Structure 1
C-alpha cells in the first residue's frame, strides 16, 4: 500500500539549483524533500565547468543576481566547512579571476564599452595594458588587441559543490529521494497544487519547487503551468594534465559574451556547422584544462559533434598556441535550461497556487545557485529579497508570447535521461 508523505516544501530536481534551494529552506526550519528521477547532480550539473562569473553579464537583473551570488559563495564555502568538517568533499573553490581578451580592433572596442558599462554598476572590471598581459598569462597569444581582468570570477567543481550543498541540507533535516520521478499533480478542490504523485507514491505539500533544469518545461507542463524552458546543448574538451601555470585565469575571447546572449544556435534540422562557438580556456585543480564552448538548440540530442569540437579546439589554439601540442583525452556535452529572454525563471506561478520555479539559468546555474536559493527562501518566507525578484517572475512580459503559445521544451528525447 502506498504511504503518503508530507513536507512543507518538495523540490523537484537534485542538481545544484535544487540542492542550494533545499539547503536554504531547510536552514529556515522548513521540512524539505528533494526528489530526483535519477542520481543527484548527475545531469546538467555534472556537465558544467563550475563557473561563478560576473564577467560575461551585461548590466541588468542577471548581473545583479550574479553579484549577489559572488558575495554569497565565500560565505557558503565557509559554512559548508563548519557544518560538514571532514565529510566535506573538496569543492575546489578557486577565486582565480577571469581574463577577457579581444583579438580584433572591433572586438577591443566592444570589450572596452562592455567593461565600462559594468564598472558603472560596481563590477570590478580592470583594463589591462597589453604590455602587462604576459605577466598575467605568459602562454597567451601576443596577437590580442585588448584585455580586461575580473578578480571576482571564481570556479568550483560542480558535482562536489552540489553534493556538499545536499549534505548540508541533510544535516539541516532535508530528505533526498533519488530514482523518484514525478508523475503528476495533487490538487485540492480550488485547483491549488497540494503535492505530487511520484513513482514512490504521493507526496503532500503546500509548495512544490520546480528546479528540474532543462526538464523544467516538461515538469511545468505536467503540473499545469507551462514555462518556455528549452534544452541548449553545449560541449567541452578536456585535455591531458598540464603544469598549473599553463593557464592561470579563466580566459575567454570577448565573443563569448555575444554567444551567451545569442538566441540562435542550430535547430534539429540544420547541420552541426550552425553551432555557436567561442573560445573559453581554464585550468582545474586536478590538472587538465577545460576548453569550450558551444551552444546549440538540438532538443535532447546527446550526440557529440566532431566538427563542432574541432572548431572549439581551433579557437582555443588561437588564444594559446601551445595547446596545439596538448592531447585531448575526452569530450563531454550537457543540456542547459535556456529561456527566450536569457533570464532565469524564479518565483511563484500565478496560474497554479503552490507551484514555484527556479530554473532557466542556462550555463550560469552553478554561479547563480546560491543567490537563487536565497531569493527563493526570502520570497517563500516573505523576507526582504537579496535582489529585486520582479524581472525573474514566470509570467513576465518577456516570456508572455512563448508561454501563451506553449513554446518551450517540446523537443523529443533521444535517451531515457530526458524524462522528467
Structure 2
C-alpha cells in the first residue's frame, strides 16, 4: 500500500495498521474525521497477518463479547458488499460437533443461551452431520450449525479497509512517545520521523497494547498468547465446507491457562488449502517452533476428518494473540489520560470484532452515542497495578518485543 502524507493536523492518530487499526480508521473516516495511521512495520505485519480470518459467533458465551460479535457480523456483511473481492469474505457458516452425549448436552445449553442473545443455531443430529460435511469422522453424537460464522483474508481485509478509509498511512515509522499538554491531555505522538500533533491517539497496537499504554502512563495488562496454524497442500474444492471444530474449543477460548492448549478448527480456503488451527499458550514473545503444538493440531484434525491423514502439511505459521485477563478487549476512551483511546486486547477474535470496535472508537472520537454498551470494555477496569485485577498474574511478562 502506498504511503500518503498530508500537512494538516489530523483529528486522531491511530497507532497500528492491523485489522483493528484499519477498522478504526475506516469508521472514523466515514464519520468525517481526518486520521493518520502510523505503524513501525507494514500493513498487517503483526497478529493480523498471522490470523486465520475467523469471524465467529459460535465460540462466544452470551455477554458483552457476543454482543460485539453480533454487531460485527452485520458490519462485515455490509463491508463485503463494498470492499473488493480480494478480501475473500465467505459466509460459510460454522459446525461445532460433539463426540458424546455429555458434550452434546453442553452444546445444547450453550446454543440456548446464544439464541436468546440473537445467534442463529440449528441442531444437527448425528445422522445428518454428513449432509453438511461428507468427510467428517463417523461416530459423533451430533452438533450445531451456526450460519452466521464467516471468514475473510485478514491481511487483504486490513489493506482494503485502510485504502477505503482515506487515512494518511505512515508505515515503517515507530512511535516513541505519547505527547501530552500541561493539563495531561494527549497532544499527539513522537515518532522516529518527528512529532505528529493530534487531539486524540488510538492505541490499536495489538499484542503491544500494554507497552503503548505504559508509554502514555497507564496500566493495561495485555499479554501475548502464542498460537500455531497448519496449512495443507491444495485439495479438491469443498473438501471441508464449513468452519468445523469440536465442542472443547469453546472451553479453550475461555480458559486463562498459560499451558499449551489445542483444539483443531478445520476449514477450507478459496485456494484449496485447508487451515488447521489453533493452539494457545502464554510463553511471552517466544517464536520457537513447537513440534508438540503442531503434532496435536494434526492429530485432532485427522480425528475430525480422517481423509486428512494422507494429506501433506506444506507450512506452519504462528502469531501472538493480545490477551487480557478477563477475555474482553479494551475499547474506548481512557479516563486517566484525556484524548487517549484504546482498541486492543481482542485475543483470537480481533478479525471478527474489528468493525464493531472501529464503530465504537469512531463514536467516542465524535462524542456521539455508542452503538452498544461500552462499559464492559473500559480500558481502566484493571486498575493501576499488575496485580490490581483478581485474574491478573504479575509473572506473565510480555517479554521482549520482536
Structure 1 length-normalised TM = 0.91
- 2:232 aligned residue: 239
- Residue 6 (structure 1) shift: 2.4
1:295 and 1:287 map into 2 onto residues whose CA distance is 25
> C-alpha deviations, 1:234-269, integer Å up to 9, x for none?
000000011112100000001000000000023xxx
- 2:62 aligned residue: 59
SS for the counterpart of 1:243 is coil
1:257 aligns with 2:250: yes
1:19-168 to structure 2, matched below 5 A, reads 19-80=22-83, 88=84, 90-168=86-164
> C-alpha deviations, 1:282-303, integer Å up to 9, x for none?
0001110000110000110111
1:383 and 1:403 map into 2 onto residues whose CA distance is 34
- Residue 113 (structure 1) shift: 1.0
- 1:282 aligned residue: 267
SS for the counterpart of 1:90 is helix
Match among 368, 374, 382 for residue 383 of structure 1: 368
1:376 and 1:234 map into 2 onto residues whose CA distance is 27
1:290-309 to structure 2, matched below 5 A, reads 290-309=275-294
1:7-18 to structure 2, matched below 5 A, reads 7-18=10-21
12 and 340 in structure 1: CA distance in 2 versus 1, 3 angstrom threshold: same
1:373 aligns with 2:358: yes
8 Å CA contact retained: 1:228, 1:403: no
- Residue 313 (structure 1) shift: 0.5
> C-alpha deviations, 1:93-143, integer Å up to 9, x for none?
100000000113321121111111111222101101111111100000112
1:410 aligns with 2:397: yes
1:293 and 1:89 map into 2 onto residues whose CA distance is 26
8 Å CA contact retained: 2:17, 2:39: yes
2:192 and 2:384 map into 1 onto residues whose CA distance is 33
2:386 and 2:335 map into 1 onto residues whose CA distance is 16
1:185 and 1:279 map into 2 onto residues whose CA distance is 40
> C-alpha deviations, 1:28-70, integer Å up to 9, x for none?
2211000001111111111000011100000000000000011
- 1:200 aligned residue: 193
1:315 aligns with 2:300: yes
1:248 aligns with 2:241: yes
1:305 and 1:39 map into 2 onto residues whose CA distance is 26
- 1:269 aligned residue: none
SS for the counterpart of 2:81 is helix
2:64 and 2:272 map into 1 onto residues whose CA distance is 35
- Residue 409 (structure 1) shift: 7.4
How many aligned positions are there? 394
2:333 and 2:252 map into 1 onto residues whose CA distance is 30
8 Å CA contact retained: 1:217, 1:408: no
- 1:85 aligned residue: none
> C-alpha deviations, 1:199-222, integer Å up to 9, x for none?
010010110000000011111101
- Residue 399 (structure 1) shift: 6.3
2:137 and 2:196 map into 1 onto residues whose CA distance is 56
1:364 aligns with 2:379: no
1:399 and 1:5 map into 2 onto residues whose CA distance is 36
- 1:395 aligned residue: 380
1:204 and 1:59 map into 2 onto residues whose CA distance is 41
- 2:3 aligned residue: none
- Residue 383 (structure 1) shift: 2.2
- 1:178 aligned residue: 171
1:373 and 1:70 map into 2 onto residues whose CA distance is 13
- 1:352 aligned residue: 337
What stretches of structure 2 of length at least 5 have no aligned partner? 1-5
1:161 and 1:276 map into 2 onto residues whose CA distance is 28
Structure 2 length-normalised TM = 0.94
8 Å CA contact retained: 1:227, 1:408: no
- Residue 382 (structure 1) shift: 2.4
412 and 400 in structure 1: CA distance in 2 versus 1, 3 angstrom threshold: closer
1:403 and 1:212 map into 2 onto residues whose CA distance is 22
> C-alpha deviations, 1:353-408, integer Å up to 9, x for none?
11100001111111111111011111221223221101101122x66764748959
SS for the counterpart of 1:162 is helix
